[in-house]
Structures are given as structure tokens and as C-alpha cells.
Structure 1
Amino acid sequence: MKFIKKSALVATLVAAANANAQSTDPGVGTNPKAQGATEDVTPNTGPNGSEDWLNTGITSDGWNPPYMALDDLYHISLDDFYNGIGSSCSQYDQYFQSAASKYSVDPVILAVIAMQESSCNADAGGPTPGLMQVSCDNYPNGECTDSIQDNVDAGTKYLKSQIDSTGGNAIEAFGSYNGWFTANSGLNDNKGLTEDYPCSSEGQSNGVPQNLDYLHQVLNGWLMGLDVYGDDNWIGTYKCDQSCSDGSKC
């Protein structure tokens, strides 16, 4: 048997772990307002903070989102997004620009939401159709239309309403966009969204279970120009099967 000195063994294990780890540096730096932030995006952290920080409370008494304003978020430029993973979104730029101007939201944020929600497919169906995948209540007169601009305006209006209602907290607003709810909001024995809730009987009765990697995927994935649905699907640690068929809590 070949023996390796302890120091050499540790170095070997560290090297192996680093070789197997997937990370990338999007070149935007580290957000000083985000806890656990790193320049590299890894399965559990990135420039806009660690997943544990973004998901504060999920593993205990319910989601208690930390605060970060929309203008505080680090992200790549709109041109870089369009020239990279968001190429399918560029055809809708006029709609993003119009809504961005109307609601004072950076257009790259809107393009990213469209990418995450529908892969920038204006023909995406379902009960919340189109690019932005929001309910018809947010459309003019509270009724869905075939207008792409109405759809983008509806999604932007909803996002802005959530930002305003949370005192400017973009993290809570993004979570709300995906159906997350905070502690003391009534659901889940008033605990709010927790790690075990999505696949509990109550969680499943409230529709498609929430993806607990959502915030990390959006803030440290899509906003960094990474393809969370493709080559960069390693981003996130919960890996919840949203059908709840794999036996996991989420």
C-alpha cells in the first residue's frame, strides 16, 4: 500500500474537488451589499450573494428575505445579454425598452425575466401566457390580449408593484414573481415558504411547487449571462423536482 503524507493527501483532495467544481467569472465584480458574494458563480453563490443568504429562513422558520434594492443588483449589460444567451430576446427589445421607460425598470431586468419565464417565447401558453407569464389581472382592463406590449407591460407592472409593496426590496419582489411568500403571510402554518413546503400536501395543493433555486438562478445565473436551462444548469443546490416525484422534500 502506498502511503501519502497528510499534507499531500489534503492537497490532492482539494485539487480533485476544484477540478470537479463548476464555476465561472462573469466579470461584474462582487456586490458589496450582498452577503456571501463571490466574483465566481458557483452552485451556491455568486456576485449577488449566496443562495443561503437569498433564501434566508427557508431551512427553518420560513423565508425572511434580506434587503437589496433593484438598482443595487449587479448584472451584465443588455447588449452582452442579447449577444449571448439572450439572443432570442433581442427581437422584443422595443417592448422591453417601452415598459422599462414607463415603469423605471432597467430593460435588462425585463429581458432576463422573459428568458427565465418563457425562454423569450411570446407564444408561450398556459394560464399566464406570453413572454412574462403573469396573470391577466395585470393587463389593461384585467383581461389578457394578444399584444406583446401589453404582456411586457403587465409583467413589468407586476414586478414594480411588488417592489413598491416591499419597500423597494428587489429580492422579495423577485421571489413574489415566482410565487414565494414570506413568514407570517398565512400559508404553511404561517411560517411562509420553507424547504419542506413545496412538496407537502399543502404546497402541492397550491399549484406547481416553487423552485427553491429560483433566486440564485435569476440573480447569479441569468443576470450574469449564464444559461440556467442549458450548459449552466449546475447553478443551484436544491435541484427540486417540481413534480415532487423524486421523493425529496422539494
Structure 2
Amino acid sequence: MHSSHRTILAAKALLFANLAAAQTNPNAQGACSPTTGGSGACGPNGSQQWLNTGVQGNGWEPPFLDINSLTHISLDDYYNGVGQPCQQYDQYFKSSGSKYNIDPAILAFIAMQESSCNADAGGSTPGLMQCDPSNCQNGQGSCQYPIQDNVDCGAWVLRSALDNTGGNAVHALGSYNGWFTASDGTGLNGGKGLTEGYPCSSEGKAHGDPQNLNYLHETLNGWFLGYDMYGSDADLDGEYNCSQSCSNGSIC
């Protein structure tokens, strides 16, 4: 075996060991390590049931996790593993992270969740960060390109949500995906927060693709820890594993 191959294998073995040994967040209820999926899904940043508090009741009531105390792998480990496609955009994550006071690793994790780190990804919210054009900060009303503008857009959306929620990463990340609470004042779902039946209701479907109720678990306990949630680690997804589709019934 060539020495370069041994080096790659050793790096991957070390990464997997780090995943298995990830420290649980002391502020996260129901946390476990390593991440597990299914109806009892959990990971180092809490259980899915805790992250989705209220979704099965009268509306989402996001618990608090400080954005600066999340458990996650390093940016270097991420680039050496599942986040390799994101490495080409490193300068943009670091620039936007500095501009909006956000750990660039978090922006890279979101980019993988949103677009699989594909700056050419289309849709109504195109680009690397899948940022709604109404939130573009370049004054153009469109910011898929330049790529820096798209990352700035995503970082601004996340920073705004953090500032509005006292730095609550759970609330802010949910908001990034379109989650809402009664206190957000959206008027949606009869003035309630997001519930598990809302995404596939007539009102929910009228607002575009159904909200992904696995989003918080996929992000905080998946990509943040270096798992490939769209590939080999898809079985670690939580109980709302329906790919933002309502084809499996009324609950997604």
C-alpha cells in the first residue's frame, strides 16, 4: 500500500473515532453519543424530541442552546470528511463568519444541509446557502452569485435570528428552515407555532416545500458531527424521515 493511501485511511479512522467519542452538550436534554436515529433519535446536541419541543402539541417551543456552546467537529475535520465539497468555499465562510460574528464551521455545516455544498443549486431559494432572495444584502434582489453574496445572505439571516432570540441556536436554525413559534407573530397555523401536522396541511403545502421536521436533528446531531446525513448515515435521521414530502401521509 502506498504511504499516501495509509495516510488517508489513518485520517478517516481518526475522524470516525472522534465521531464516536464526541462529548455531549451538558445543556442539551436527552443528549447521547454517538448519534442515533429513528423514533428515539438523539445526538450530542440533544434528543430530537427535545429539539422539537411542542411540535407534537400546540406548537414548537424551541429549547435554548447557546450558539457558542454547540458540540461540533472542527472545520478541518469536516473538510477532511463529509464536508470535503465545502472546502472550495472556505474563504467565503470565513469572510461571512467574520462579518457577522458566526463560527465559519457553522456556515459550512448549514451549506451542506441546504445545498450539499453546491453553489449552483437552484430553486426558489437558490445558491450555496439556499437563501431567500428577499434577504439578499447586496441591494440587487438576487444573490446566488457572486458566491460571497450568497454566503453573506445566509449569515445575515442566521445572525438576525440569533439576535432576535438571545443567541438561541435552536430557534435560529429552525427559523432558517422556516420553522415558527406563536411568539414569532407569523399568523400561520392559526397563530400557533409549527406542529407536526402543519407541513402537510393545505396551508402548509401552500407555502412551498413542507418544512423538514428532521432539520434540527439532521443539522445539530448530523452535519455538525461530521455524519453524511444524505448518504451513508441516512439511517441516523429522526422519526420525520420523509424527505420534505407528504407522500407518506399527513404527517411529515
Q: Shorter-chain TM-score: what band?
A: 0.7 to 0.9
User: Which residue of 1 is the match for residue 228 of structure 2?
Assistant: 227
Deviates more, 1:135-144 or 1:218-227: 135-144
User: Which residue of 2 is the match for residue 31 of structure 1?
Assistant: 25
Q: Does 1:103 align with 2:100?
A: yes
- Seen in structure 2, the aligned counterparts of structure 1 residues 110 and 26 have a Cα distance that, compared at 3 Å, is farther
114, 120, 125: which one pairs with 1:123?
120
- Seen in structure 2, the aligned counterparts of structure 1 residues 26 and 147 have a Cα distance that, compared at 3 Å, is farther
Deviates more, 1:124-133 or 1:224-233: 124-133
| Matches for 1:129-144 after TM superposition, within 5 Å | 129-139=126-136, 140-144=138-142
Larger Rg, first or second structure (1 or 2): 1
Q: Does 1:60 align with 2:57?
A: yes
Aligned-partner Cα distance in 1 for 2:21–2:79: 16
Structure 1 runs of 4+ aligned residues shifted over 6 Å read none
% same residue: 60
Task: Note the C-alpha offset of 1:164.
Answer: 0.4
Aligned-partner Cα distance in 1 for 2:66–2:72: 13
Aligned-partner Cα distance in 2 for 1:91–1:26: 27
User: Which residue of 2 is the match for residue 188 of structure 1?
Assistant: 189
- Seen in structure 2, the aligned counterparts of structure 1 residues 37 and 198 have a Cα distance that, compared at 3 Å, is same
Aligned-partner Cα distance in 2 for 1:28–1:55: 22
Give the letter for the 1:177 counterpart.
Y
Q: Deviations over 1:146-175 (max 9, x none)?
A: 201111111101110010011211100000
2:106–2:224 Cα contact (<8 Å) kept? yes
Aligned-partner Cα distance in 2 for 1:123–1:73: 29
Aligned-partner Cα distance in 2 for 1:221–1:26: 12
| Matches for 1:1-250 after TM superposition, within 5 Å | 25-43=19-37, 44-139=41-136, 140-145=138-143, 146-184=145-183, 185=185, 186-234=187-235, 235-250=237-252
1:212–1:240 Cα contact (<8 Å) kept? no
- Seen in structure 2, the aligned counterparts of structure 1 residues 172 and 142 have a Cα distance that, compared at 3 Å, is farther
1:198–1:249 Cα contact (<8 Å) kept? yes
1:37–1:49 Cα contact (<8 Å) kept? yes
Aligned-partner Cα distance in 2 for 1:116–1:66: 21
Aligned-partner Cα distance in 2 for 1:159–1:241: 23
Aligned-partner Cα distance in 1 for 2:31–2:244: 27
1:26–1:225 Cα contact (<8 Å) kept? no
Q: Structure 1 unaligned runs (5+)?
A: 1-23
Q: Deviations over 1:39-69 (max 9, x none)?
A: 2200100100000000000001100000111
After TM superposition, the score normalised by the length of structure 1 is 0.87
Cα RMSD of the aligned pairs, angstroms, is: 1.4
Aligned-partner Cα distance in 2 for 1:232–1:245: 22
Q: Deviations over 1:7-51 (max 9, x none)?
A: xxxxxxxxxxxxxxxxx9442211100001112200100100000
1:26–1:224 Cα contact (<8 Å) kept? no
Task: Note the C-alpha offset of 1:135.
Answer: 1.3
Task: Note the C-alpha offset of 1:129.
Answer: 1.2
Task: Note the C-alpha offset of 1:183.
Answer: 2.9
Deviates more, 1:140-149 or 1:128-137: 140-149
1:53–1:66 Cα contact (<8 Å) kept? yes
Task: Note the C-alpha offset of 1:241.
Answer: 4.7
After TM superposition, the score normalised by the length of structure 2 is 0.87
Aligned length: 227
